[in-house]
Amino acid sequence: MAAGDPSQLLPAREQMAFTLGFHIVLVPFGVAFTFLMLVANWRGLRHGDEQALRLARRWSHVSGVLFAVGAVSGTVLSFELGLLWPGLMGRFGAAYGIPFAVEGLFFFLEAVFVAIYIYGWDRMRPWAHFWTGVPVVLSGIGGTLSVVAANAWMNQPAGFVLRNGRVVDVRPLGVIFNRAFWYEALHMLLAAYMVAGFTVAGVYAVGQLRGRRDRLHRLGLVIPLTVAAIATPLQIFVGDVAARAVYQNEPAKFAAIEMLPQTGTHVPEILGGALVNGQERFGIPIPDGASLLSGFSPNTRILGLEAIPPGLRPPDRLVTTVHLAFDAMVGIGFALLALSAWFALVAWRRRRPPENRWFLRCTAVSGVLTVVALECGWIATEVGRQPWTVVGYLLTRDAVTTSGNVWLLFTATLMLYAAVGYGTFFALRLLRRRWRAEDDRPGGGEQALDDGVPYGPSHARETAAADGQA
């Protein structure tokens, strides 16, 4: 925070970061967890696998809770765009808003079909019910692409004409398909699949470590981990392409990521470290690494922070944050790649997933690590854009609101989100406890109250028959 910044800038940024950071953890569950749910559902129907069906049904309960919290916390973000950043919305809404309008469509479809899918277990025909889940997954993908299009636009604004500070002409497709769109959107989409995959697998890994090694828990680990293990290598490829695009299109952000004070060639890749008084300290250098990665040659020239005009140069602390967040994200990415390879290799050689305790421990940790990587990725791209909100056009300090007192709103939001976070945790724990009691009961699903084997003979057919008579 530089001297002369408006007083609301700090709380507004903190609030946006906090609420976005909260919401983004829920996003993978709306976008990708529903895909895992459908995989289990498909498997259950195709192979008559009751355990897979039961898993799909349980997952639909979980996604019901998470989708609700995600929907409301997402709405708060829409309010905040106006409440905190009227300078952005008032001046650029005509362009920046378009991807959000498209996203609104997908959000509609997702909300409708999520409801049909979650509440349709008992009364719909099995395959018809399965197909109502497909639009959920598709609109999840569409929604992610649209929201990220808006974010990518802030990094690489395009598709509009500015005259006297007003947007006077807009090319909607130019706004959506800006230069950062494809790599940012694919990167986030794969991240969603990784987070959902590793987190869910992690939950069942913990279950197995605690001795619940039945088929349900094995399936609960294999389905998400397979999806995550496919997404991880793709993600590393997309991430690599994205980093090079940032090198070419967003040199200021790239300088912060590489924590590079002076422009030069033969730039080493610095692992860890910090920027102190404009100089890199404490990091581990890999000679020529950054130059090689960004241009495939040690002679590749990379712009340093000095190339940014002093008034627009991010302070040391911010640069360190971006750099460390990026390093953590990449480091976790490779750790997850190793875990994926381990899983794939053993599954391929022995025709069954690894079951030793170390593998399960690593899988359990991987769930937490992907969430950390997700947050780090967002810190790298969002903090890395500062001091700009719309790169080259609008400074964050000019976008921030001057009305009211954001600290009050922020305090209220913090307390409320703490309660909501606790409530979510508590609700999910209740669900788990209920299912555990069900599993432990002899006869399992047959006597289950509201969570029996779906489409099973117990009550679905009875009600179907009753409906037929009615």
**Footprint of another protein on 121-150 (CB under 8 A):** 121-124, 135
Q: Provide the b/e sequence for 289-299 (b: ≥16 CB within 10 Å).
A: bbbbbbbeeee
What separation in angstroms does the CA of 266 have from each of 270, 286, 303?
Answer: 12, 10, 12
Answer for which of 1, 7, 82, 279 binds another protein (CB under 8 A) is 82
Among 287, 423, 437, 462, binds another protein (CB under 8 A): 423
The residue from 101, 284, 312, 338 that contacts another protein (CB under 8 A) is 101
Q: Does 80 bind another protein (CB under 8 A)?
A: yes
Under rule CB under 8 A, residue 25 binds another protein: no
Q: Which stretch binds another protein (CB under 8 A): 1-9, 45-53, 116-124, 188-196?
A: 116-124
**Residues touching another protein, count (CB under 8 A):** 78
| Contact map string, positions 258 to 297, toward another protein, x by CB under 8 A | ----------------------------------------
Please identify, using beta-carbon distances, which residue of 181 and 326 lies nearer to another protein.
181
Footprint (CB under 8 A) of another protein, residues 390-409: 401-404, 409
Instruction: Please state the closest distance from residue 126 (CB atom) to another protein, in A.
Output: 13
Identify which of residues 235 and 396 has a Cβ nearer to another protein in the complex. Answer: 396
Q: Which two tokens stand for residue 129?
A: 């019910």
CB under 8 A: which stretch of 107-115, 258-266, 350-358, 363-371 binds another protein?
Answer: 107-115
Q: Which residues inside 302-361 make contact with another protein, applying CB under 8 A? A: none
Residues in 148-207 at the binding interface with another protein, rule: CB under 8 A:
167-172
CB of 218 to another protein, least distance (A): 25
Our finding on whether 32 is near another protein (CB under 8 A) is: no
Please choose, out of 35-43, 120-128, 232-240, 328-336, the segment that lies near another protein by the rule CB under 8 A: 120-128
Report the residue from 25, 32, 45, 98 that binds another protein according to the rule CB under 8 A.
98
- 373 φψ region: left (φ > 0), alpha (ψ -120 to 50), beta (else): alpha
Selected from 249, 308, 427, 456, the binder of another protein by CB under 8 A is 427
**In this chain, which of 73, 144, 155, 235 binds another protein, going by CB under 8 A?**
73
In whole angstroms, how close is the CB of 432 to another protein at the nearest point? 11
Judged by CB under 8 A, the chain residues 441 through 460 that form the site for another protein are: 450-451
Query: Cβ 108 to another protein, closest distance in Å?
Result: 4
- Give the closest residue to 453 by CA, choosing from 23, 56, 5: 56
* Least distance in angstroms from the C-beta of 417 to another protein: 8
